[in-house]
Structure 1
Amino acid sequence: MVIVWRQAKPEEYETLGEITAQAYLGDGLLAFGEDDGYLDALRDVAKRAAAAEVLVAVDSDERILGGVTFVPDGGPMADIARPGEAEIRMLAVAPAARGRGAGEMLVRACVEQARAVPGCRRLVLSTQRTMRSAHRIYLRLGFARTPERDWEPLPGLELLAYGLEL
């Protein structure tokens, strides 16, 4: 099966939002489950696309397998990016599509996008400790843990930072 990445289309936002929300819920990544306020942000792909780049992985039938938000140069979608850094946010792959390379393709797409941003020297991201499959992708692609940039958006929710020098 061929998987490619591209910019998300507005008519795909709702589908991608639900894939992202269900991936986070299914993996137990939301502290308050269905009542977690972050769920609204995960579902609001249109808002993300207005402030950053939303990329999708699709199969040969144009089915959306997953998506990611690429923040090229700060702005309202950046959590930890500093000047000269781009950021990866909200990477998610539909449970039925996992293990087929869509997640890695989306991270590679973000690396490619970051390298095309003038003055961008580093790509950063935050991840939860339990996202071990994602950690393996990051390490395989050359990202390194940057524990000095770990942070807590909410008390008790520790996010681990990774970075890739471009």
Structure 2
Amino acid sequence: MDIVIREAKPAEYDPLGDITALAYLQDGLLDFGESDSYLTELKDVAKRAAAATVLVAVRGTALLGGVTFVPGPGPMADLAAPGEAEIRMLAVGRAARGHGTGEALVRACIDRARATQGCTAVVLSSQRSMHTAHRIYERLGFVRTPDRDWSPLPELADITLLTYELTL
């Protein structure tokens, strides 16, 4: 059965929040473990869906993962400038990894960006250790933009997010 990418349904918000939080925790991407304030953001899919588009990957009735597509600057954008869309909080459950789920979610975001009037690029931030995600981005044509790298916690200089851009 093929992977289907579509907008998340409200009944999927909590399960997707759990998948996303667990993926970040299991991969060691949250520096402060379960007390990390970003964990709350990862779990709050309803908040993301109110301000952006949350896409899910499903196979049959199985929820495999999700991503937040931000069509431009706004409350869910960390990086996007006018004319840019942003990809945030890409996460795939462990059992669904290695089967094209993450790439399918990123491709769906690129397709949405191309369909967004005035959008000329897609941007995203990524942690240094997200090597599998970096390979997906680079395979799809994203390039590193080190001049846009940033820290979500300036008081902790060792946390710098890497940035990527795909010109449409």
Return the TM-score normalized by structure 1. 0.98
Q: Distance in 1 between matches of 2:40 and 2:9?
A: 19
Note the C-alpha offset of 1:157. Answer: 1.1
Deviations 1:21-42 (A, max 9, x none): 0000000000100110000000
SS at match of 2:73: coil
What is the CA distance between 1:62 and its match in structure 2?
A: 2.3
**Between Structure 1 and Structure 2, which shows a larger proportion of strand residues?**
1
TM-score by length of 2: 0.97
Alpha-carbon distance in 1 for matches of 2:151, 2:89? 16
Aligned residues: 165
Counterpart position of 2:162: 160
d(CA) in 2 for partners of 1:20, 1:73: 22
1:95-147 CA-to-partner distances (Å, cap 9, x unmatched) read 11100110000000000000010000000000001000000000000000000
CA RMSD across the alignment: 0.6
Q: What percentage of aligned pairs have identical amino acids?
A: 68
Distance in 2 (CA, whole Å) between partners of 1:74 and 1:50 is 14
Opposite residue 117 of structure 1, the aligned amino acid is T
Gaps of 5+ in 2: none
Q: Partners in 2 of 1:99 and 1:4 — Cα distance?
A: 16
Distance 1:73 1:143 in 2: 17
Q: CA deviation at 1:68?
A: 0.2
| CA–CA separation in structure 2 for the residues paired with 1:127 and 1:41 | 16
Cα shift at 1:74: 1.4
Aligned counterpart, 2:143: 144
Q: Residue 161 of structure 2 aligns to a residue in which SS?
A: strand
* 2:131 is the alignment partner of 1:129: no
Tell me what 2:76 maps to: 77
